[in-house]
Homo-oligomer: A and B are copies of this chain.
Amino acid sequence: MRQQKLIPNPITDPIITPITINKEKFMQDQLQQLKEKLTEISNLSRAISLLGWDQQTYMPPAAAESRGNQLALLGKLAQEMSISPDFGKIVDKLKRYLPDLDPESDNARLISVSSKDYDKATRVPVDFVVEQAKVSALAQQAWVEARQKSDFLIFLPHLEKIVELRRRYASFFPEVDHPYDALLDDFEPGMKTSEVKTIFDDMRPKQVELIKAISKMPQVEDTFLHQAFDEKKQWDFGVEVITRFGYDWNRGRQDKAHHPFTTSFGLDDVRITTRVDPNFFNTMLFGTMHECGHALYGLGIRRSLDYSGLDGGASLAIHESQSRMWENLVGRSLPFWEFFYPRLQEIFPTQLGNISVNIFYNGINKVQPTYIRVEADEATYNMHIMLRLELEIAMIEGEVAIKDLPAIWNSRMEEYLGVTPPNDAQGVLQDIHWSFGGLGYFSTYALGNLISVQLWEKINQDIPDLSDQIRQGKFSNLLGWLVDHIHQHGRKFEPQELVQKVTGSTINSAPYLRYLNKKYNQIYNI
């Protein structure tokens, strides 16, 4: 309704002049033009996403090169649309109306987000975009080979170029406090390096302390998770769980992929992918709940934002807060298993018939420092992230020689987690992100964890019997809360603003540490 307040009412508002009317009409015309441009960009982006989805699910192996050519063309067209002078002119005209608009209205946000997007896109020279695409393509190939052979030297010259390009990218935004801010902003709009550092510096010693305390206690049993579980039965159980969560199969689907991901082709088509390990229970189910969390976010965005450019997530951290909430705060909780465990035992009587729900719950929450981030438990996960953030900032500051990364990595792993990777494949080479230039990305994973519990505390205030509802397999109030407070806003608010608005605090680690301590004190009898 807010948008309408600018339309003058000739009866109650007798001092309208033709100029006011024209001004309003002119703004609406420009807004219409902006939306048309954004709709084109949306449609093209969605087509690009489908090419990517297919590439990772069904594409025949030999088609990799031709798919790359298709993606390159569509990417070029999308880039041209995003930086077209026509688009810039419309945005510039609309910015003049910002003082007249409610700053929290959809239109005001649409104008400011579009303006920021346009400004960022046009600051980066087209040549640079092309060079970066080429360097990344080669770097990804080199990374695959380097990881296979566990030989960092194969990847080294590529990573050096990637870092050099990322530094150059940061230089297009000279106004930032720290060059890393420019990288972070692509994933966490408005977030500063100094903020993240402060949050992590506060959290690090406390999390290290918890991990040490756990390591002194007797280990929980989890061997029952490592046995043969029929793939189809695992899949079907996952489907049962996320159907109860509220995943709308009319607007989504689930397929297999080697590296699970969620992708949106608009508010009516948000798909998840999962992989299944026939000999380990956790991979499939927790992966499915995680991706479902992302998908529920995409499906919950307000329909009036569709095609507007605000129809995505607020940031990667906010997105991750949703996936981690469904995966961990819901899916690794005792109430959840009090409801689902009898069903799971029914499906896998041989494997789990003699395992009690409490033993099962402890097992899926086992804490054990490992080399590999994606396999890390809740207690140790953030340590992997903090290590990467420190290295990324040092790389961008030029404070570290890239060739020294493996040694620094290993010594920091020892310091934070008490383990030393046996080789670089399980150490510095384990993640794909740097190879595609994704510096600035990792911290969003840890921030997502923190935000998930900040929201969780608020939800439990608003829905005091949430645990009981979960114990009865009811998730509709939870999902409704998330839609109302988070999902529906799409990309309208920046992450810090959204967290502040919803929880009353900015992003911080206190709730997450409270949650971890409580959970693990109970499981490990600390």
Chain B residue with the shortest CB-CB distance to A267: B66
Listed in ascending order, the chain A residues whose CB lies under 8 Å from chain B are 39-40, 43-44, 46-47, 50-51, 54, 58-63, 65-67, 69-70, 72-74, 77, 248-253, 255, 265-269, 271, 307
CA distance A473 to B39 in the complex (A): 53
Number of copies: 2
Residues of B within 8 A of A251 (CB): 60, 62-63
Contact status A268-B60, CB under 8 Å:
yes
Residues of B within 8 A of A265 (CB): 63, 66-67, 70
Q: Which of B65, B249, B267 is A268 in contact with, Cβ under 8 Å?
A: B65
Question: Given A73-B40, A269-B66, do A47 and B51 touch, yes or no (CB 8 Å)?
Answer: yes
Chain B residue with the shortest CB-CB distance to A250: B62
Contact status B46-A70, CB under 8 Å:
yes
Chain B residue with the shortest CB-CB distance to A271: B60
Residues of B within 8 A of A44 (CB): 73-74
Q: Which of B70, B252, B266, B307 is A47 in contact with, Cβ under 8 Å?
A: B70
Question: Given A43-B69, A70-B46, A73-B43, do A268 and B62 touch, yes or no (CB 8 Å)?
Answer: yes
CA distance A47 to B67 in the complex (A): 9
CA distance A30 to B252 in the complex (A): 46
Q: Give the interface centre of A61, A69, A267 by most chain B CB atoms within 10 Å.
A: A69
CA distance A499 to B11 in the complex (A): 78
| Given A47-B74, A58-B253, A62-B268, 11 further pairs, Cβ under 8 A | A39-B69, A43-B70, A50-B50, A58-B255, A60-B250, A60-B269, A62-B269, A63-B265, A66-B265, A66-B268, A70-B265
Q: Which of B40, B43, B54, B72 is A54 in contact with, Cβ under 8 Å?
A: B54
Contact status A268-B69, CB under 8 Å:
no
